[in-house]
Amino acid sequence: MTRNSAATLFAIILVLYLSLWGKWALATEYELLYIGPENSSAYRGLQQGLDEANHQGQFLGIGFSLRTMEFDDYVSEKLSDPIAIIANVETEELRQLIKATPDIAIMNIGSASDSLRLACYPNGFHILPSEKMLADAEVQWRKKNPNSSAHARAWHHKFKKYAARDLNKRFSARFEKAMDDRAWAGWAAAKIVTDTLARQGISDHSRLLAYLKEDLVFDGQKGIEMQFRETGQLKQILLLVDDDKIVGEAPVLGVADATDLDSLGHISCQH
């Protein structure tokens, strides 16, 4: 055996050992709860995010499991508290969930309602852009491009910058479907929760809730640091899409500062 082949064999054995050791030596396993339909792009994005988190977590002795339920089943059953809830439900159902579990972070990947943001629920975190964020992005775009019919989106399967190309490839290779807004929201919700737990050593849902409100910084493959507003909305860059092509980004340079994410959507609570 040559020196190079021996080194290659050793590297393979080491990777396999570390992988198996991580699976055997999980010191901590967190349970997340998903409420919503499993046959949805949001759920597929969530699965993608959790798979990536478990792949990384095995070397740290951390694992993540996912329990799934429909909304009606959740409200009728008494459950042990999950570390976080990821909800792909309608606006009024989400409002009920938020009020019923005030000390658990609920990641909204299903509703763009402005009323949910303006209510400023302390445990509501909205990954999808709100109705007003989308509208503001389109207004900015049309100030510069008055004849354009582009619409604002959270994500697009042709987005390539900031490692977005790789994320789109991973998703489409696994599911044979293009990653859309809700798939990205599901992935982002999973990454926000799991990265926070892994990096901050947080072990309970109340500490997670506090960290997300005050200290979170998230990239989300959009090339800019994003945080949650006091409304619970995740500030983020939006894409302008026309005829299935990305034609721009918002905030729109020349109309607003390109880094001023507060130029999109409501920035404060409704008092």
Check pLDDT > 50 for residue 65.
yes
pTM of the entire predicted model = 0.88
- Cα(56)–Cα(259) distance, integer angstroms: 30
Read out DSSP for 61-78?
TEEEEEEEE-HHHHHHS-
Burial of 26 (0-12, 13-18, 19+ CB in 10 A): middle
Q: Return the pLDDT at 9.
A: 57
Lowest mean pLDDT among 23-27, 42-46, 113-117: 23-27
Per-residue pLDDT of 168-194, as tens digits, reads 999 999 999 999 999 999 999 999 999
For residue 26, the enclosing domain spans 19-263
Residue 43 belongs to domain with CATH number: 3.40.50.2300
Q: Return the pLDDT at 21.
A: 47
Within a domain: 137 = yes
Within a domain: 270 = no
Within a domain: 88 = yes
Q: Return the pLDDT at 20.
A: 53
Per-residue pLDDT of 3-35, as tens digits, reads 555 556 555 554 554 455 444 455 688 999 999
Give the orientation angle of helix 164-175 with respect to helix 41-57, to 10 degrees.
110
Structure tokens at 190: 């999973």
The count of domains in the chain is 1
Q: Return the pLDDT at 150.
A: 98
Quote helix, strand, coil % in the chain, to nearest 5.
45, 15, 40
Lowest mean pLDDT among 56-60, 234-238, 247-251: 56-60
Within a domain: 4 = no
Beta bridge partners of 30: 64
In 122-225, beta strands by DSSP E: 124-126, 151-153
Within a domain: 190 = yes
Give the orientation angle of helix 41-57 with respect to helix 181-200, to 10 degrees.
30
Within a domain: 1 = no
C-alpha angle 119/121/123, rounded to 5°? 160
Within a domain: 89 = yes
Mark 46-67 as b/e (b = at least 16 C-beta within 10 Å): bbbbbebbbeebbeeebbbebe
Within a domain: 219 = yes
